[in-house]
Each structure stands twice: as C-alpha cells, then as structure tokens.
Amino acid sequence: MKYIVVLGDGMADHAYAELEGKTPLQYAHTPNMDLLARRGRVGLVQTIPPGMPPGSDVANLSVLGYDPRRYYTGRAPLEAASLGLDLEKEDVAYRCNLVTLSDDQPYREKRMLDYSAGEISTPEARELIVEVDRHLGRPHRRFYPGLSYRHILVWRDGPLTVQLTPPHDISGETIGPYLPQGNGAEEILTLMESSNPLLAQHPVNQARRVRALNPATSIWIWGAGKKPALPLFRDLYGLAGAVVAAVDLVRGIGRCAGLEVPTVPGATGNIHTNFRGKALAALEMLAAGCDFVYVHVEAPDEAGHQGSLELKIRAIEEIDRQVLGEILKGLAEYPAYRLLLLPDHTTPVSTRTHGTDPVPFVITENDAVEEGAVTFDEATAARSGLKVEAGFELLPRYLLR
C-alpha cells in the first residue's frame, strides 16, 4: 500500500460576488479534484486547534499526524532545521523576512507595502542577508539566508516571550502597532530599525528599483521558538516517507520527522513553481521505496496573501492539472494506494491572512467507484456530515487505517 498526501496551502477560501457567489475552489476548473470527490470520502477537518495561531506550521503538523498542542515550539526552529542548522538548547530561532516598507519617518510610521519584497530572488536575498549579518550579526547572534524572502536569525539566549507579528498579517498597515512588544522587544526592534538604512540603498535594491521591482528595505523578525522534538514518523506509523516541498517550513517539519526531503529544481513556493516537477519527485520517491509521500504546494497561499483571486484560481488549477493529474497517472502502476487531498488552512483573499475555519478534505483509494456528481469544495465538504475535530487524527484514522 502506498499513501500520498497532496496539500494545497491556503487553498480554502470564502465565496465572492465576482466569482458568481463561488469560492475559488468552486470556480476553478478542477476535473481531477472532482474525480477524487466522486471516488472518495469528503469531509471537513479542523487543522487549527482552538486558541492556537492559524499558521502553516501548526496546520501542517496537524495534517502530518502530530498534535500541535504537544509538539509545536514555534515556526522558525522548523525552518532552521530545513537549512541544516542544529540548534543548541539555549538557542532561539526567529523567522527573518525581507520586506518592503514605505519611506515614511520615523520607522514606526512606515507601512507594510510588501511582506515578500516583491518575491525577491534567492540570489539577491542571500546577498542582502549576508550584508545584514556582517553589520548586525554577533558571535551569539547570526543571520542565515534561506529561500527568496524567508530567512533565519539564531540568537543564543535570545528573547523568547516577545510579542511578534507575522508581516503577511499586516499588508498595507502602518507598522507601529505591530512592532515587537514585551520583555526583550527593544533589542529586536533595534535590529529591524538598523537594517533599514543598511538595506535601503544597497546596490541590489537600487537595481531592483531600476527594474520597477519592490526593494527589500528592512528585515522583519517574527516566529520565535526553540528546537522541537518530534518523534520520528517511522516510529509513529511504521512507514518510510518523504516530504516534497519548496518552503523551508514544511521541509523542516519533514526533516524533524525523519522523512526524506528531496530538492525539486525550480520549486519556488509561488505561482512560478515547478508544479509538475513536484509530482514527478513524489512518484520517484514512491518508486525508490517510500511508503508515504507528502506533497506540499505553497502557491494558493501566496496568492491569498497578495489578495489576488486570479492568481489563486490559477494556482488551484495548476495543482489539479500538473500535480494531481501527474500523480494519478503514476499511481496507476500500483495495485494499492490511498490518497488524501486538502488545504492546511484557509487564506481568504478578502483578508489576505490565515483563518481558523475547518477545511475540506477527500480520501480515495485505488479501487474506489465513482458515485454521483460531487465536486471538491468547501460547500460539498460541509454538507457531507463528516467532520474531524482534531486535525492530527485525520491521517492515522482515515488514511493509514
């Protein structure tokens, strides 16, 4: 038996008048998703436990069968694991975005123009983070480059209880009310403020302005946490597995769970990702002996954060055609498989941030029979009568049963 999870990050949403009263999932052309719905069991799952932040970190832990209330220690340590950073007991890791802030003065009066600095390229971002580390890094505090706008700060005995806000939650807002607060906040704020003059006139950003691209004018620190201790996926479920993903967060969860994490050329975490390459990588991992493969696609989430219905619909359709379609063709070679399709959380275009609503899922298997004219979307899942209240129970109870 082979087990496959295909996760469209932030794919679930609300209904919109400009989409004829439909959600992006309902509006998009998704023949493969709808085929799964006709051949499988559709329902809702609550991936975000009550009182926990609705992030991809919490949600993906849930979907992988880990109770976030027990194992979640913060977002950044998971991303640090993806970069191969071995945190010590006293280390605190932070997510460090490169962002575009307005030119308003003083710093607290600036607005969050772009949480991704125009989805800055990885080579450009690396050059900027190296410069930040050269000026602001210390023996006990280092900055490490990641993918595109996503980077890591590791700080020995760094402040852990500071209130920090994800930059994608405040697009277009004046940043003052969302700056670090609490014990140790001043040190973090000083780093953020000091990065502004350092980055604003850097040659990388001057060149981006010439090309009419958003410059990375500041770092933004958030997502603090300490090294997690996840039990190995193999020990929990007796399966050898792999995670296929572009973003460091999900790759880091995979590494912490002891899963293989292949690199897919051209996988970016946005609409320009190598959709088909992810599907082929998943099939290669199955052929190489993996029993379980988790395929994560970030593009719908990025579109939601950007407030773009057009991009979100396109991302959903590309997942259906290039990811799901390719995987279904490859699975035809196997006599027995089960497949789970779902988002990790909602990312409504209207709010441009994550929500806590339950999300639709469908589970099917190789010998399932088509029934009715069911479609895969939020409304169909809500009508099904099946709801899994504890997200971390979905995988073992319904897929790995």
**Has residue 46 been placed in a domain?**
yes
Q: What percent of the chain stands above pLDDT 70?
A: 100
| pLDDT tens track for 107-147 | 999 999 999 999 999 999 999 999 999 999 999 999 999 99
Provide the 8-state DSSP code for 47.
-
Q: Using DSSP, state whether 73 is helix, strand or coil.
A: coil
Question: Is the domain of 199 the same as that of 302?
Answer: no
Q: What is the pLDDT of residue 133?
A: 98
For the residues 248-265, what does the mean pLDDT come to? 95
CA distance 5 to 192: 38
Q: What is the pLDDT of residue 388?
A: 98
Per-residue confidence band for 216, with pLDDT thresholds at 50, 70 and 90 = very high
Q: Which residues partner with 156 through β-bridges?
A: 91
Q: Is the dihedral of CA 204, 210, 216, 218 positive or negative?
A: positive
The answer on pLDDT for 194 being more than 90 is yes
Per-residue confidence band for 157, with pLDDT thresholds at 50, 70 and 90 = very high
CA distance 313 to 351: 16
The dihedral over CA atoms of 206, 207, 210, 212, expressed in degrees to the nearest 10, equals -100
For the residues 19-40, what does the mean pLDDT come to? 97
Question: Is the domain of 163 the same as that of 102?
Answer: yes
Q: What is the pLDDT of residue 346?
A: 98
Question: Do 18 and 303 meet the contact criterion of CB atoms below 8 Å apart?
Answer: no
Number of domains present in the structure of the chain: 2
CA distance 66 to 68: 6
Q: What is the pLDDT of residue 381?
A: 97
For the residues 60-68, what does the mean pLDDT come to? 97
The residue to which tokens 């296929």 are assigned: 244
**Has residue 80 been placed in a domain?**
no
Question: Is the domain of 56 the same as that of 31?
Answer: yes
Range of the domain at 139: 91-225
Question: Is the domain of 249 the same as that of 364?
Answer: yes
The answer on pLDDT for 373 being more than 80 is no
For the chain, what is the mean pLDDT? 96
Question: Is the domain of 377 the same as that of 267?
Answer: yes
Residue ending a domain, among 209, 225, 241, is 225
The answer on pLDDT for 372 being more than 80 is no
Q: Tell me, what amino acid is at 9? A: D
Q: Which residues partner with 296 through β-bridges?
A: 7
Q: Write out the DSSP string of 299-310.
A: HHHHHHHTT-HH
CA-based angle 376:343:335, to the nearest 5? 70
**Has residue 52 been placed in a domain?**
yes
Which two three-digit tokens encode residue 241? 């597995």
CA distance 307 to 351: 8
Q: What is the pLDDT of residue 21?
A: 98
Q: What is the pLDDT of residue 269?
A: 87
Question: Do 297 and 11 meet the contact criterion of CB atoms below 8 Å apart?
Answer: no
Question: Is the domain of 216 the same as that of 244?
Answer: no
Question: Is the domain of 179 the same as that of 281?
Answer: no
**Has residue 129 been placed in a domain?**
yes
| pLDDT tens track for 303-354 | 999 999 999 999 999 999 999 999 999 999 999 999 999 999 999 999 999 9
**Has residue 212 been placed in a domain?**
yes
CA distance 33 to 350: 24
Question: Is the domain of 64 the same as that of 37?
Answer: yes
Q: Using H for helix, E for strand and C for coil, what is the string for 185-227?
A: HHHHHHHHHHHHHHHHCCHHHHHHHHCCCCCCCEEEEEEEECC
**Has residue 77 been placed in a domain?**
no
The answer on pLDDT for 401 being more than 90 is no
Contacts 24+ apart (CB under 8 A), 271-276: 271/299, 271/302, 271/303, 271/311, 271/314, 271/315, 271/318, 273/246, 273/297, 273/298, 273/299, 275/299, 275/318, 275/319, 275/321, 275/322, 275/323, 276/322, 276/323, 276/326
For the residues 57-81, what does the mean pLDDT come to? 95
The answer on pLDDT for 289 being more than 80 is yes
Q: What is the pLDDT of residue 347?
A: 97
Residue ending a domain, among 169, 197, 225, is 225
